[in-house]
Homo-oligomer: A and B are copies of this chain.
Amino acid sequence: MDAPPGAPAEAAPVEVAVVGAGLVGCLAACFLARRGHAVTLYERRPDPREAGAERGRSINLALSARGLDALRRVGLDEAVLKAALPMPGRMMHAADGTLSFQPYSADGRRAINSISRAALNRTLLEAVSALPGTRLRFRHRLTALDPDTGAMEFATPDGSVTAVSPVILGADGAGSAVRAQLQTRPGFDLHQEYLDYGYKELTIPARGGDFAMDPGALHIWPRGRSMMIALPNPDRSFTCTLFWPHRQLAELGTPEKVTAHFAEHYPDARALIPDLAADYALNPIGHLVTVRCAPWTVRGRAAMAGLIGDAAHAIVPFYGQGANCGFEDCVELDRCLTESGDDYAAALALYESRRKVNADTIARLALDNFVEMRDKVASRAFLARKRAEHALERALPGRYVSRYELVSFSTVPYADVERRMARQRRWTAAATVTAALGAAGAALGAGALLRRWRRPVTPATRSPGSRTAGRR
């Protein structure tokens, strides 16, 4: 109000502390620094550009449309894709060694991209460092946080360090220290639920300088109650990940048992993993947790603390959407800051109101997809259904789209994907009934159905209100 008429309002420089310099923390820092905000990034681990990557965390991930869209907005998509390997489909490995390939998209060309988590993290860290106004603080482990004052305490190799920031963004993953601080406040709802499964990584090295299997696929060994997957790496190795019930992991206690189990259930992979028993014994067991919480932001008198990425909504990895979803969070927060004129209180509230339902949706889909990956993909009925689905997609382009396509190859909000799936199910069921009714009596119904079918489905017409309107 004090600005002279006509002069652009000068925004006060905003200070933001981002806790966690993993994928989401770095990307969030990029977005915020590009807005001119002064970002300090705190990370409990040493600088991965100096130290090696931590062992035991998933060393590669599948980047798809949402993640790439976010990277594009900060100009990093092309650089990142150069180090990625496209996987246009799944390769199923039966116990007898039979392979079957299943494209992910109807046109067979769209691909998800295998990328090294460490390489992607380094690229993002370089990008943060290069932006003006950013500061990186490694080996800083958050031990206390008061969202009322913005006071933080960190354990560092040089002892305890304090800092204050009016805006604190927790991007510190599934085991978030920021969330642990917020969780003790009355009114903070939290649901953390572990799967009864653990995971363990193994390596299929390159053979004679080349990939030991087709690098153009995400490989799956579906075994009903358990499974193994493998993603290609740029060094022509594959990283395998076993997803096994904890009981099964515990039972295979000796190298002999491990080798025998693989020889029986994963014979083709067994032949490709020379250090199987040693790898198995050495690599730690990872855990699979789903975390839902609310609110994502706690506002105090002089400060506020918000959550983003896995810290706000940790999900299991079975839809390949963890990082993609976290990157999409960054895009949405950036959008909300634009809409609110860089007012963090308003932006964080808006961001939560839009993202929470989407995060809850992908959390559920990721759990559901575990059953699909470890069990259903092995059945002929599933393969036939996928082929039928793709045929429908090609016959009705833009009208019928599979869930996988919308989740992995679009940026349609996850919750909207599910609304669309429900609609498609109703239509498909109605079409089946209509067809069954026979020609004469069904002509009227089919005509009406066809008129509805022909109406293009765009995001703008997806709200319940517009559906009601469509029934007039």
Chain A interface residues (CB < 8 Å from chain B): 175, 180, 183-184, 186-194, 246, 287, 289
Contacts and interface: CB of A to CB of B under 8 A. Distances in A.
B187 A287 contact: yes
20 contacts: A175-B184, A180-B184, A183-B192, A186-B194, A186-B287, A186-B289, A187-B194, A187-B246, A187-B287, A188-B192, A188-B194, A189-B192, A189-B193, A189-B194, A190-B190, A190-B191, A190-B192, A191-B191, A191-B192, A191-B193
**What number of copies of this chain does the assembly contain?**
2
Contacts of A190: 190-192
Nearest to A286: B186
Nearest to A198: B186
A185 B186 CA distance: 22
Contacts of A183: 192
Nearest to A191: B191
A184 B189 CA distance: 16
User: Max chain B CB contacts within 10 Å: which of A192, A193, A246?
Assistant: A192
Contacts of A189: 192-194
A189 B194 CA distance: 6
A193 to B, nearest CB: 5
Contacts of A180: 180, 184
A189 to B, nearest CB: 5
A106 to B, nearest CB: 39
Given A175-B184, A189-B194, A190-B192, 13 more contacts: A180-B180, A180-B184, A183-B192, A186-B194, A187-B194, A187-B287, A188-B192, A189-B192, A189-B193, A190-B191, A191-B191, A191-B192, A191-B193
Nearest to A289: B186
A204 to B, nearest CB: 27
Nearest to A192: B190
Contacts of A187: 194, 246, 287
User: Max chain B CB contacts within 10 Å: which of A184, A186, A189, A193?
Assistant: A186
Contacts of A287: 186-187
Contacts of A289: 186
A184 B187 CA distance: 20
A177 to B, nearest CB: 10
A54 to B, nearest CB: 16
A184 B287 CA distance: 12
A192 B191 CA distance: 6
A193 B187 CA distance: 8
A312 to B, nearest CB: 16
A16 to B, nearest CB: 26
Contacts of A194: 186-189
Contacts of A175: 184
Contacts of A188: 192, 194
Contacts of A193: 189, 191
A364 to B, nearest CB: 16
Nearest to A190: B192
A190 B190 CA distance: 7
The 8 A-B pairs at the shortest CB distance, nearest first, are namely A186-B287, A190-B192, A191-B191, A187-B194, A189-B193, A189-B194, A190-B190, A189-B192
A194 B190 CA distance: 9
A188 B191 CA distance: 11
A292 to B, nearest CB: 9
A269 to B, nearest CB: 26
Nearest to A195: B187
A294 to B, nearest CB: 9
A175 B188 CA distance: 12
Nearest to A293: B192
A59 to B, nearest CB: 19
A322 B318 CA distance: 39
Nearest to A246: B187
Contacts of A184: 175, 180
A187 B287 CA distance: 7
A287 B189 CA distance: 12
A291 to B, nearest CB: 9
A173 to B, nearest CB: 13
Nearest to A189: B193
A447 B161 CA distance: 79
A184 B180 CA distance: 9
A287 B193 CA distance: 24
A289 B189 CA distance: 9
